[in-house]
Amino acid sequence: MKKIVLPIIFLTASICFTAEVFAVGGISNTKVIVPSTDTVPKKRIEIEPFVNFLFADDENNKKTYDLGARITYGLLSNIEFGATFLFVTFQDDDLININTNFGNFEPGFGIKWRFLEQQGNDLFSFSLAYEGGVTIPITGSGGKWAFEPLGLILTKNFSEKFSLDSDVVLKFVENESWGIITNHGLGYFITNWLQPVVEIAYNYSNIDNQDNEHVLNVTGGFTTPLTDYATLIIGATKNLVSENTDDTLVITSALTLIF
């Protein structure tokens, strides 16, 4: 009975209570954004360079281009840890034209621990993992510490081709806010080299002395295994609801390499 009730409670709670594209830095995923309970194999390293293009629907037509990378190490067969680094940000809008920022260096570190393994592909079998992390403002005068002390990931493989990943994370930003972030994604391998993905995410931020923020967005994209060691990821995330924050479109491209 617990195996039936737990995933239902998890999914319902995370949808009702949870805005950022990435909740926890440094951990791996098998879709565009949402993480899975899968971990990098023991003693292997996964490197994922990425580029994000953000277009804001505001009075200044802000556009932001981020270049970065994720590096994740398989510590054990069910535990991984890693870091996400943002190297450079290009910002362009109707006021400042182009501004290049190399100084706001805030790496995000994360850990994933799979403590329940799915046994077979029967209807009520699934896997669970803990996720947690911290973002450190190494440089940049406006940087703040951010903590994700408690997060849970659920993965359900309906078959070898069709899978569901969901997560919910509690986040605190130093002297500023707390919030809940959740992501849910479905993926299906229509061929061995193409997995279309649909994801939905919700972010609630309770900000000191400001109106609370609510963001609901949807992501569409795909992953393409190029070889056994390289996977291409492309996706677009569009805000459906943007309360007290800008309406944005984010296009993400990444290349996952395992060594």
In sequence order, the 6+-apart residues with CB closer than 8 A to the CB of 249 are 54, 55, 57, 236, 237, 238, 239
d(CA 11, CA 4): 12
pTM here? 0.87
Domains of the chain: 2-258 (2.40.160.40)
Q: Which of 130, 121, 186 is nearest to 153 (CA)?
A: 130
> Looking up tokens 């270049």, which residue turns up?
67
Question: Number of helices and strands (H, E) in the chain?
Answer: 1, 13
d(CA 235, CA 187): 13
The two three-digit tokens of residue 160, written as one number? 């070898």
Q: What backbone torsions phi and psi does residue 231 show, to the nearest 5 degrees? A: -135, 135
Q: What's the full length of the chain, in residues?
A: 259
Q: What backbone torsions phi and psi does residue 192 show, to the nearest 5 degrees? A: -65, -15
> Looking up tokens 């290009």, which residue turns up?
90
Which CA distances in Å does 238 have to 20, 34, 55? 12, 15, 10
pLDDT, averaged per 10 consecutive residues of the chain (259 residues), comes to: 42 38 83 96 97 83 86 98 86 60 72 95 90 84 82 96 96 92 97 96 90 94 96 96 90 96
> Tell me, what's the pLDDT at 72?
98
